[in-house]
Structure 1
Amino acid sequence: MGTTQLETVPEPKYWHLRTVLSEALDSEFTVGEVLPNERELAARFGVARATLRQALEQLELEGRLHRRRGVGTTVAPPRVGVEVGPDGPAWPDASDDTWQPVDSDLSTPPAAVSTALALPRGIAVHTVRRSRVSHGHPVAAELLYVPESSVPGLHLPDAPSGPARARAVLRELQHLDLVAQNRSVELGSARADDAKQLDRLPGAPVLVVTTHFTTPTRLAALSVATYRADTCRLTFGATGGVEIEEGAA
C-alpha cells in the first residue's frame, strides 16, 4: 500500500480525509472487509492518528463503517431502502422475509397510540414486535399495535409468547378490508429498548416511520418502526425514483 499525501484545502483536515477515505472504500474495499489498523492508515495518508480517528468516527456516523472492539473497522453494507410513497395498501405479512416476527402480547400501548386508535386509556392491545436485519446487522425494530376488536377471530397458540403468536395476529389481520396505509417519517433518538435491539447507544439518531392502517370504518392498527439513521435511506414515489441519502458518499 503506497502513501497518499493530502492536498492543502481550506476545509478541516479530518473532513477532507473523510472524503478521501470514502472514495477508497468505494474503489478498494468490499462490504465486511476489515480496514488496515490506525497506524497503517495514518501513515498512508500522512496525518496524525487523532485526525484519522475523527475521519473514521464521521464515516461511522454516516453508516459507511462498523467499528467493533476485538474485530476492528469493517466496511458497512449499503443503506436499506425505506419506501415512503403512494404504494398500494397492504397488511404486514406473516411470511414476509424482510421482517422477522419476534413476539406478541397483550399490553397497554402509549397514550398517543391509544388516542390514535380511539381507545380508552389503559385498554390493552395486541403488541406485535418484529425486527429487520440486513447483511447480518439489525437495522430496524417495529411495534405493531392491534386492538382486539380488529382481530375478533384470533386463535392464539398455546405458547404464552414468541414468534408464533406474532404470526397469528398478522394472519388474522389479512381478513380485514384495508383501504388506506398512511406513513409519516421523522427523525428521533433511540430509546433504551430500541437502542438495545438496534445495537446502538441510547440517544443515537433514528428514523421513526409511523404507519396508520385504515379499514372502511376506522383505524384498525398502527405501526411504529424505528430504523437506524446510519444504515437507511428514504425512497419516495411508487418507483422510488427520488432518494435521500444524507451523509452517504
Structure 2
Amino acid sequence: MGTTTGRTASRPGTSPAEPKYWQLRTALTDALDAEFSVGQVLPDERTLAARFGVARATLRQALDQLELEGRLQRRRGVGTTVAPPRVGVDVSPAGQTWPGAEDDPWTVTGLTAVGAPPAVARALDVPRGTPLSLVGRVLVAAGQPVAIERLYAPPGPRPAAGADEVLAALRDQPLEGQDRSVELGSADAEQSRGLDRLPGSPVLLVTTRYTAAGQVAAVSLATYRADTCRLTFALAGSAAAPVRVGHRP
C-alpha cells in the first residue's frame, strides 16, 4: 500500500483528469484485493494518508466512496474494516406477498399507534393524522441487521390488537398489486440505531405500496444498509437472472 497518487492536468480537447480521491480509490481497491481479507481492520487515517501521500480530506473522500460501493464498513469502536460480499435481497413485486406471510424473513420488533404522517397520508389517500398502526420490523442476515421497516396499516380488528393481528388483517384481503420505488439516502439517527451504523451512512430507501380492493391498503418504508445489501428485481415474465442493483457482483 505504498503507492502514491497524483492528479494529471488535462489538456484542451481531452477528457477531464480523474480527481485525486478517485485515483486513490482505485489504488485502495487494488490494495484491498491483494493485501486484506474480509473483516480485517484498515490502518488509521493518518497512517493511510501518509503512505499514499495524500491529504486526510482526500483519503476520507476515497473511503466514503468505497463504503458506498460496499467494499468497506465503518463500525463503532472497531474502525474501518473490509466488508463481506453484499447480501442479495429480492424486492421484486413478483416474489412478494403481504408482509408477514409464512416465508417472510422479516421479524416484528414492535407495534405503535400513530397518526398518518404527510407522505403516508398521501399514499393511502387519507387525511393527515388519521390513526394507523405502525409495525416495526427488522431483516437480519449473517447475525446482523441489514434492513429495518416501518409498515403503516389500518388499525387491527381490536384497539389493543398486536402486530401479528394487524398483519393477519392485511393478509385477509386479496392482494391486487404492489409498486415499489428505490432511492439512495443517508441514515438518520433512528435508522443508524436500528442498523448499527453511523449517522449519515449510505442506505437504500425502498417504499412499497400494497393495493387491495382498488386502493392502497398499506405502505412500507424500508431502509437497507447500502454497504451490505444488493437489491434484486426479477424480470417480469422472464426466467432470466434478476437485475442487480449494486456495485459488486
TM-score (norm: length of structure 2): 0.74
Structure 2 alignment gaps of length 5 or more: 9-17
1:235 aligns with 2:232: yes
Please name the residue that 1:174 is paired with: 171
Distance 1:12 1:70, change over 3 A: same
| Alignment partner, residue 211 of structure 2 | 214
Matched, 1:152 2:157: yes
Following TM superposition, by how much is the alpha carbon of 1:109 offset from its aligned partner in structure 2, in angstroms?
Answer: 1.9
1:71 corresponds to: 78
Q: Hey, what does 1:104 align to over in structure 2?
A: 111
- Preserved CA contact (<8 Å) 1:194 1:226: yes
Residue 183 of structure 1 contacts residue 212 of structure 1 at CA under 8 Å; is this kept in 2? Answer: yes
Contact 1:213 1:222 (8 Å CA) reproduced? yes
Alignment match, 1:186: 183
1:162 aligns with: none
1:130 aligned residue (101, 123, 137): 137
SS in structure 1 opposite 2:185?
Answer: strand
- Counterparts in 2 of 1:237 and 1:39: CA distance versus 1, 3 Å: same
Specify every segment of 5 or more residues in structure 1 that has no aligned partner in the other structure, as ranges.
157-164
Q: Which residue of 1 aligns with 2:150?
A: 143
Show the 5 A alignment for 1:87-98: 87-93=94-100, 98=105
The code of the aligned residue for 2:112 comes to: D
Q: Aligned Cα RMSD in Å?
A: 3.4
Q: Which amino acid aligns with 2:171?
A: Q
Q: Which moved more, 1:19-28 or 1:34-43?
A: 34-43
How many angstroms does 1:100 deviate by?
Answer: 1.9
From the superposition, tell whether residues 122 and 78 of structure 1 become closer, same or farther in structure 2 (CA, over 3 Å): same
Is 210-219 or 84-93 further displaced after alignment?
A: 84-93
Q: Which amino acid aligns with 2:170?
A: L
For residue 53 of structure 2, what is the aligned residue in structure 1? 47
TM-superposed deviation, 1:8: 6.9
Worse-superposed segment, 57-66 or 47-56: 47-56
2:193 to 192, 196, 199: 196
Deviation at 1:67, TM superposition (A): 2.9
Matched with 1:35 is 42
> 2:246 matched to which residue of 1?
245
Q: Which of 10, 16, 22 is matched with 2:29 structurally?
A: 22
Structure-1 separation of matches of 2:96 and 2:74: 38
C-alpha separation in 1, matches of 2:189 and 2:44? 32
Instruction: Give the aligned residue type for 2:191.
Output: D
For 1:87, what is the secondary structure of its paired residue? Answer: helix
- Residues 69 and 221 of structure 1, relative CA distance in 2, 3 Å threshold: closer
8 Å CA contact 1:154–1:172 kept in 2: the answer is no
Which residue of 2 is the match for residue 60 of structure 1?
Answer: 67
Q: TM-score, normalised by structure 1?
A: 0.74
Identical pairs, percent: 54
Given that residues 68 and 202 in structure 2 are in contact (C-alpha distance below 8 angstroms), is that contact kept between their aligned partners in structure 1? no
